[in-house]
Structure 1
Amino acid sequence: MTSHDQDPDRIPARDLARDLAQDPARDPARELGRERAYHDACRAALAAMTEGAGQCVVIGENAFASGADAEVLGYQLRSWAKELREMPEGPLFFGRLDFGASPSAAGDHAGQSYHIGRRRIGEHPSAPPLVVDWRAPVSRRFYQASARDPQGVAVRRRFGWAQGSTGVAEELTGLEDEPLAAPGTPAAATTTGTAPTGTAPTGTAPTGTILAGEIERPRVGPMRDIAATIQPDQDDLVRAELARSFCVQGAPGTGKTAVGLHRAAYLLYTYPQRIQRRGLLVLGPNRTFLAYVCEVLPALGENDIRQSTVDEEIVRETRGREVRAVDEPAAALVKHDARMADVVRRALYGRIVAPRNSLALREGSYTWRVARSELASIVRAVRAEAPPYATGRERVRSRAVRAMQLQAEQRTGPLNSTWLQKITRARSVTEYVDAVWPRVKPEEVVAALFTDPDALAAAADGILDPAEQKTLLWAKPPRSWKSAKWSEADLVLLDEVSGLIEHPPGYGHIVVDEAQDLSPMQCRAIARRAVFGSLTVLGDLAQGTTPWAARDWRTQLGHLGKPEAAVVPLTTGFRVPAAIVELANRLLPALDVDVPSGRSLRGDGRLSRREATSPRGLADAVVEAVRAALGREGSVGVIAADGAVRELEAALTTAGLSASAGGRLALLPASLAKGLEYDHVVAVEPAEIAASEDRGLHRLYVVLTRAVSGLEIVHCRPLPRQLREPERA
């Protein structure tokens, strides 16, 4: 980074407040220079922190401690050093808070000044930080303070950054002050320096050109964090207490995904011991989506949060079973239905039978006997308690042994634990338990349902009709469950049975994105992992595209095990321009979901249509649209129906336009567009997207709302009626 010959001394907040009140025309260049020098000092402090962390690893590895303590200490030190070394390049702070001098308003922060960044930076652990973490309690005022409620803040300062000479966005180019506490001071900001490229006109985004420019800045590559641009309603959700579960119904461009990721980072910062003890999981819809958001958490200083998909988590918990089969649509629909939970429960617990004989165990000259009626009573009592299947099996064993123990103690007196262990492992006891409460694997239960019509009929009686049962039966049954080929839906059922046998380990918190697309059975898999934890559920019912997509959040939250969770709507977007949002809103009445229409504060953006005269000319029109989009700043996404992607790829390649991962241009099927965004989107043949599946209009709604600067619709076929321009009288 370029060095600046400016005074590196910090500006006390009380002096800045006095300057703002008495000398509004202070030297802007000097202010900018001093902040640049301060950033240089922070950069040097971060380098020292990184070097010091490496030295601590060396010292810690040679410290005198017990083996367990040394291992924990070494892991913590190495993790800290690794986080600092791998911290993404970029600005070290994005804002500053200057508190007024009055303790009645500012409290302990009276007269103080704080720079706000993505992680804490200090010259020494015990010294006041040079940069305060955005998750720290005092930082909340950066997002929540306003002219109506300044919360003791005299001035809120935002910084504008641009690409430096090294290609890293860390050149401080401008600052913008927003006086909050000065009597009679208007809320308008005072700008110094140059705003970042892409700044929208004043009034089209939140107050200030720097904030608007950061929100609307073109992007290429993975998703960025929004720590610098969090809005008050988003901040309330991010900082909600750990025990609170809620659902965010977010219209396109409202930042619901970013809110979920920042909440994950906030919870780990605020509740480190509770989260680290049980873990935190972020679930996305697919690997494409996770690759897009992969850099957000590391940029916020969190590298140990697990990011996965529901299917991957199920495979992980089912000991790595592979998906080797594909279901027919009708079968998949039944397997994902919530009623299957009752079917597999019946199938599992239907294996429990009443004892046929008494239990006898000979020990020396004595024989301990438990009558069949008493054994039956034990089995009935355990079943009534409804424990996990494996737990119930052991309860039956222990209670039968207890009955024999009481007989033995009447003859011989108190018995020790060695005797109990011997009797518990006795062959006759094990044979009895195996007979009434047999040991079973999930694969055995599910395979029996799909291969034996009678077993399926017994388990599904009154739950599934005969036609539904028929769709579940395997056309070519395997010789045994060991050679069975499982589908993705089968693995969900195996996970259900596994959860009935033994509860899986749970997480302290789970963030679930695109939750509207989860089936009831997938929701139950998540619920089992959050029995003692909380959930942040993110989604948009209007973007539900799976055959089993949710139509209302209350039912979906019930499947997720959190029926009491609040549903919080986010309807105001800052990323997607108003013209695009209004176009997409035309589809809402046809989507059969009750969601509020989205709105945007951005009056800029481009919306255009390009009509090809023939199907053969469609590819040429797409190439022309892509060339035009590449002539503008930012990323370009070409989105088409899944079956049209290969032909378009060939056309783009022939035209010398290469779509590659991580580049400016991406070509993707509509089925993978969810959760992604591009500065410019070329939406190809909307009518084909809408007609390609049962919920095609929902898919089209997703495609149209991926653009954050410009949307061009390229088509040959007539557009769906909702997108046609109204006829002029």
Structure 2
Amino acid sequence: MQKTVQQEEQERLDAALRDIEEQLRGIGPRYTGQDFTEQMLDLQREERKNRLEVARKEPYFGRLDFQELPQNTGVNPGEPKPLYIGKAGVARNGSNELLVIDWRAPAASMYYSFTGGDDPAAYSSPDGDVSGYVHLKRNFMIRGGEIVRLVDSYIRGQEEGGVSDEFLLYRLGENKDNKLRDIVSTIQGEQDKIIRAERNKALFIQGVAGSGKTTVALHRLAFLLYQYEGRIRAERMIIFAPNRMFLDYISGVLPELGVGDIGQTTFGDWALELLEHSVQLADPSETMAYWFEERRTIEEIEASSGRWKGSLAFKASIDERLAKLQESILPDAPFVPLEGFTLTPSMMKEWYETDYGDETVMVKRDRLVSRIKRWLESELKHRGVADKKKRSAALAKLNSFVKRIPSYTALQLYASLYKGKTALPDVPKAIAKTTSERLQAGYAAAEDLAPLAYIHLKLYGLAKPPFDHIVIDEAQDYSPFQLEALRLCQRTPSMTVLGDLQQGIHAYAGIQRWSELMDLFADGDTDFFELNRSYRSTMEIIDFANYILGGMTGGVKPAVPVFRSGDPVTAVETSDEGWLPAVSETVKEWKAAGGFDTISVVGRTAKECAEIHRYLLAQGLEASLVQSKQPTYGGGLTVVPVYLSKGLEFDAVLIADAGRANYDAIDAKLLYVGCTRALHKLKLLYRGERTPLLEKWQG
């Protein structure tokens, strides 16, 4: 009886798993001795073990049958060779033959870039371009050692318009849990170009909600470590996320790809550590409450402290002050500790500018002071000055002289910009007063951290090695000054900067166009990519979300949904008395229907969400409440303020109240963020008149 394709592939999988298990058994225990060579060999064995552990869970997810064309066109091509592609490359036991090709390997790039047709495909190898014909592209889903799904998305010679999206749609239809997943088996061609882009540039990615931009950035880190092995290190890479809960949400992706030791933080936490916690951060929830709970106008946003302190105009003022400090460091009078002892200003200038020319301001200052002290000690010794009174007098003059050489911490210099004779003349008075009082109490607002970090780096430089690569997520909420501070932490630009201008809800601090950040770099140091396909939500949800925006801003394209249809979006009117029961009934209905692992009730404010949460608990529903300082997201039924929902995904979303009182015309991006959290189902309730954003929507 002839075997089916599924049976043949299962036998091949069984053999691969036996090979992997045999290799794992042969590795043996860890080495615990002190021999350096054995320690290095043990590290190599441990790395191999980690790769095999990754492969054991899911050895591969794809197969590409490739017939390589020889360089000499007169030679007949060989037979098509099956390439099995997985998260980790694995060689056969006791052989150099590859059992599985790492998804980051050059040949594996064809699995992502090939879009069908009979024309030759190609990839770039260290030895040059390699071309040939693809005969088969096959997708696998493997769970527990079994092939649970097999899809042939291309077979050479069969009539079809291109590679089918069947496997992608199947994966997209899966439910969500409380962690972001890797997409290594479904990376699309436009995503793969970003992942494999050259290292020494600042890549800017404009990606619509659900375009996979965060996951693409994480896969890019894994690719860079593979591609530039030995030249870059994981511990010198860093991810900047919007908050700690989001860091927890994405925490599983890199380990699944076999990558560890990459730093993950928020800009605020990084800046405070850089400043050695010399200042405390004012509660960030107060900032969000100010802008999202109290509802501010466009004029207030434009005049906000965050807009001013994040601007390049403010940076220019600080640079001017730093230049003046640089000039004032050098003494303009000689140092004369004793009669006949003279250290001239010209000598001190030579030490400062020549010997320490590449150092930062305060480092040069401190080294100059140390050099002056050594000079005095040398002179006293050389001239045989043993008299204690003379030595004491000389040291007293030294201390007096050194005190006149300016010395600042970043906090001291920054505070001086807001008060007294040293205050900057162009800082708005209200901002200067509030900032000065806050700093005096030992606190800094979130918008103070970029200038503080920048000043510290200019004064003292980096205590640690520079970053090999930086990832900045939700970068539309970054100010130019924040990015400028991070630029100082690299020798050459190597960044992945991603976000969505349509989700720029922190207008009091963020940008309106990507050029505001890209213009910080020299010509040729940046690349721009736009991801406008949304893989998260159904067509109905994306079309509805696009309608809410009523047009794109910042010159970006609207979201284009993958062809995955679902239930229509509904908006239902409710009364003040019936509102909370309607929320509860909807949740109960969705839970009873089954099929949703994660459900979110999205409220407008923290106060509204607390009220909803209390009511759901009273109705016997187990629900969690997301708050601003929350470090983790647990899945299940969640109540979340809309401004804290960014980056998260849920199977079903209920917008608790889309009435005019909650979402006016100015709140289009905020409502867009809430709606695009939904994968499969979206419903809106509203009390009274519904938001004008839906004035002409029929639904």
Counterpart of 2:617 in structure 1 is 653
C-alpha displacement of 1:49: 3.7
Task: Using the TM superposition, name which of 351-360 and 428-437 deviates more.
Answer: 428-437
| Contact preservation (8 Å) 2:51, 2:88 | no
Alignment partner of 1:714 is 2:685? yes
TM-score of the two chains, using structure 1 as the length reference: 0.78
Deviations 1:619-659 (A, max 9, x none): 12122222333324232222111231111112222233212
Counterpart of 1:556 in structure 2 is 517
Distance 1:437 1:296 in 2: 51
| Contact preservation (8 Å) 1:118, 1:227 | yes
Q: 1:475 to 1:439 in 2, by over 3 A?
A: closer
Counterpart of 2:300 in structure 1 is none
- Paired residue for 1:34, among 8, 11, 20? 8
| Contact preservation (8 Å) 2:62, 2:140 | no
C-alpha displacement of 1:117: 0.9
- Paired residue for 1:92, among 51, 59, 62? 59
Counterpart of 1:145 in structure 2 is 114
C-alpha displacement of 1:341: 2.9
Distance 1:109 1:273 in 2: 35
Q: 1:527 to 1:475 in 2, by over 3 A?
A: closer
| Contact preservation (8 Å) 2:501, 2:513 | yes
User: Matched residue of 1:474: which SS?
Assistant: helix
Alignment partner of 1:119 is 2:81? no
Counterpart of 1:203 in structure 2 is none
Deviations 1:160-209 (A, max 9, x none): 437x6xxx6x5313322244544xx32369xxxxxxxxxxxxxxxx6142
Counterpart of 2:601 in structure 1 is 638
Distance 2:234 2:341 in 1: 46
Deviations 1:335-369 (A, max 9, x none): 4444443444455555535635312366xxx9442
Counterpart of 2:657 in structure 1 is 685
Amino acid in structure 1 at the alignment position of 2:566: G
Counterpart of 1:158 in structure 2 is 138
Counterpart of 1:4 in structure 2 is none
Deviations 1:35-93 (A, max 9, x none): 112222333333334444443x32xx44743xxx66655555556546655x4984321
| Contact preservation (8 Å) 2:201, 2:493 | no
User: Matched residue of 2:111: which SS?
Assistant: helix
Alignment partner of 1:618 is 2:579? yes
- Paired residue for 1:173, among 142, 145, 148? 148
Counterpart of 2:420 in structure 1 is 453
Amino acid in structure 2 at the alignment position of 1:469: A
Q: 1:245 to 1:357 in 2, by over 3 A?
A: closer
Counterpart of 2:296 in structure 1 is none
User: Matched residue of 1:223: which SS?
Assistant: coil
Distance 2:398 2:92 in 1: 65
- Paired residue for 1:241, among 185, 190, 198? 198
Deviations 1:381-433 (A, max 9, x none): 6899795212432575589799999999xx99xxxxxxxxxx9xx95896487
Instruction: Summarize the alignment of residues 529-544 of structure 1 with structure 2, pairs less than 5 Å apart.
Output: 529-544=489-504
Q: 1:115 to 1:80 in 2, by over 3 A?
A: closer
C-alpha displacement of 1:676: 1.3
- Paired residue for 2:334, among 354, 358, 361? 358
Task: Using the TM superposition, name which of 300-309 and 630-639 deviates more.
Answer: 630-639
Counterpart of 1:699 in structure 2 is 670
Distance 1:331 1:144 in 2: 46
Q: 1:79 to 1:119 in 2, by over 3 A?
A: closer
Distance 1:101 1:392 in 2: 59
C-alpha displacement of 1:295: 1.1
Distance 2:312 2:141 in 1: 50
Counterpart of 1:308 in structure 2 is 265
- The one of the two structures with greater contact order (alpha-carbon pairs below 8 A, sep at least 6) is 2
Counterpart of 1:130 in structure 2 is 99
| Contact preservation (8 Å) 1:686, 1:719 | yes
C-alpha displacement of 1:701: 1.3
Deviations 1:450-490 (A, max 9, x none): 5x33322xxx12x3243443332207945xxxxx2344344
Instruction: Summarize the alignment of residues 424-503 of structure 1 with structure 2, pairs less than 5 Å apart.
Output: 427=395, 431=399, 434-435=402-403, 437-450=405-418, 452-456=419-423, 460-461=424-425, 463-474=426-437, 477-478=440-441, 484-503=442-461
- Paired residue for 2:245, among 282, 288, 301? 288
Distance 2:485 2:604 in 1: 31
Distance 2:167 2:574 in 1: 44
| Contact preservation (8 Å) 2:205, 2:499 | yes
Amino acid in structure 1 at the alignment position of 2:433: K
Q: 1:561 to 1:224 in 2, by over 3 A?
A: farther
| Contact preservation (8 Å) 2:241, 2:264 | yes
User: Matched residue of 1:621: which SS?
Assistant: helix
C-alpha displacement of 1:559: 4.7
Distance 1:294 1:446 in 2: 35
C-alpha displacement of 1:506: 1.7
Distance 2:261 2:504 in 1: 30
Instruction: Summarize the alignment of residues 558-577 of structure 1 with structure 2, pairs less than 5 Å apart.
Output: 558-559=519-520, 564-577=525-538
C-alpha displacement of 1:508: 0.6
Task: Using the TM superposition, name which of 397-406 and 293-302 deviates more.
Answer: 397-406
User: Matched residue of 2:204: which SS?
Assistant: strand
Aligned residue pairs, count: 643
- Paired residue for 1:186, among 138, 159, 174? 159
Amino acid in structure 1 at the alignment position of 2:610: R
Distance 1:84 1:53 in 2: 10
Instruction: Summarize the alignment of residues 393-432 of structure 1 with structure 2, pairs less than 5 Å apart.
Output: 393=365, 396=368, 427=395, 431=399
| Contact preservation (8 Å) 1:353, 1:435 | no
Distance 1:210 1:578 in 2: 18
Distance 2:589 2:620 in 1: 14
TM-score of the two chains, using structure 2 as the length reference: 0.81
* Structure 1: tracts of 5 or more residues without a match: 1-25, 190-205, 413-422, 479-483
C-alpha displacement of 1:528: 2.0
Deviations 1:512-549 (A, max 9, x none): 11100112332223222234340011111111111112
Amino acid in structure 2 at the alignment position of 1:501: L
Deviations 1:21-43 (A, max 9, x none): xxxxx95x532112112222333
| Contact preservation (8 Å) 1:323, 1:488 | no
Alignment partner of 1:212 is 2:169? yes
Distance 2:609 2:78 in 1: 57
Task: Using the TM superposition, name which of 428-437 and 569-578 deviates more.
Answer: 428-437
User: Matched residue of 2:509: which SS?
Assistant: coil
CA RMSD in angstroms comes to 3.9
| Contact preservation (8 Å) 1:382, 1:392 | no
Alignment partner of 1:252 is 2:209? yes
| Contact preservation (8 Å) 1:158, 1:211 | no
Q: 1:355 to 1:664 in 2, by over 3 A?
A: closer
Q: 1:355 to 1:530 in 2, by over 3 A?
A: closer
C-alpha displacement of 1:279: 1.5
- Paired residue for 2:642, among 670, 687, 695? 670
C-alpha displacement of 1:674: 0.8
Q: 1:675 to 1:125 in 2, by over 3 A?
A: farther
Amino acid in structure 2 at the alignment position of 1:173: V
| Contact preservation (8 Å) 1:215, 1:229 | no
User: Matched residue of 2:574: which SS?
Assistant: coil
Counterpart of 2:468 in structure 1 is 508
